[in-house]
Amino acid sequence: MNIDVLKSTAKELVAPGKGILAADESTGSIKKRFDAVSVESTPENHRIYRQLIFKTEGIEEYISGVIMFDETIRQLTDDGVPFPKSLQDRGIIPGIKVDTGAKDMANFPGEKITEGLDGLRERLTEYKEMGARFTKWRAVIAIGDVIPIKTCIESNAEALARFAALSQEADLVPIVEPEVLMDGNHDIKKSEEVTYKTLKSVFAKLSEHRVDFSGMLLKPNWIHPGKESGQEAVDDEIAETTLRVFKDVIPVEVQGIVFLSGGDSPEESTGHLNALNKMGDAPWQISFSFGRALQKPVLEKWGGKSENVENAQKEFYKRAKLNSLARSGKYEKEMEKED
């Protein structure tokens, strides 16, 4: 493990004004996204779509890194250049999702455990040879009447820690993602309680597994009322609650925090990020690693048609720029109307 390499990659990923694009939808998730815009989900259509985003002119100003799925990291641009190389050539760091998905956890109805540790050391070596410099592993924690149960949180935290340790061993910066879902009718207090417990457990396990916090990034959820709670997600309340809990449980050595969007709209996600950065007193870089919040309007504009590529790229550029502004609290809702 070379901590200098890890630290410098992690710092580059959260450089001021920049954030990460999560374009690592698995075969199942990308099919859902394509179905929503009536595009057939084939490897070639995935390649065409991902090329559209990756090749958008000027995004390197706002996008520090891209997380890819196994299929994507092996694909080429129209000119025959592997995607990782074409990104790296423009100063965008290639990354890879290395978990193999959240599966039902035996004996724990409604709870998930993320798989992918077997053979991970060998897969990391292969991804590194392909040009990856960072990795991601997503654990899923659902909130319900009687869940999550401690065993589920701890099993996922253990897997996240083993993933992070293996990643650092290979000089790949781990993005540790324990996602507490916003699905459900719980209030913001419940989200706070579960997120607190989850992060506490994750950092205890990371510590036990001797993960160096300065060579990793955390990808958390916002502390947020459940989507079906009928409660409004107010930017300032989300920002204040999230930051208060984070200051309590996240070590200051962690190189940066890169939020997921989790199902909020692009405008909502940018709004939350802006509010948090506006508070201005976080000890970490507070950035983004959005999937849907960067891509939903882009997919809608594209709709699988080559004549729409330019407009779709304009949309992607706009979202990247607005999230970049939110990195320093300079985003305003009115900017959504500008072209």
CB of 53 to ligand 13P, least distance (A): 14
CB of 262 to ligand 13P, least distance (A): 4
Residue 293 as a binder of ligand 13P (CB under 6 A): the answer is yes
Nearest CB to ligand 13P, comparing residues 238 and 293: 293
Residue 95 as a binder of ligand 13P (CB under 6 A): the answer is no
Residue 290 as a binder of ligand 13P (CB under 6 A): the answer is yes
What phi, psi does 319 have (nearest 5°)?
Answer: -65, -40
CA 258-291-238 angle, 5° bins: 50
Nearest CB to ligand 13P, comparing residues 84 and 339: 84
Residue 260 as a binder of ligand 13P (CB under 6 A): the answer is yes
Distance CA 316, CA 310 (A): 10
The contact pattern for ligand 13P, residues 132-171, with x = CB under 6 A and - = no contact, is ------x---------------------------------
User: What ranges in the chain are assigned the alpha helix state H?
Assistant: 3-13, 27-36, 43-54, 70-73, 83-89, 120-129, 150-169, 188-208, 235-249, 266-279, 292-302, 309-326
Residues between 165 and 184 that touch ligand 13P (CB under 6 A): 177
Q: Which region among 182-190, 197-205, 254-262, 272-280 touches ligand 13P (by CB under 6 A)? A: 254-262
Nearest to 333 by CA among 258, 237, 235: 235
**Which of 261, 274, 285, 324 touches ligand 13P (CB under 6 A)?**
261
Q: Which of 219, 268, 296, 315 is catalytic?
A: 219
Residue 177: active-site member: yes
Tokens of 116: 């992918």
Interacting residues of 77 by C-beta distance below 8 A, sequence separation 6+: 51, 54, 55, 83, 86
Residues between 34 and 93 that touch ligand 13P (CB under 6 A): none
User: What is the set of active-site residues?
Assistant: 177, 219
By the criterion CB under 6 A, which residues form the site for ligand 13P?
22, 138, 177, 260-262, 290-293
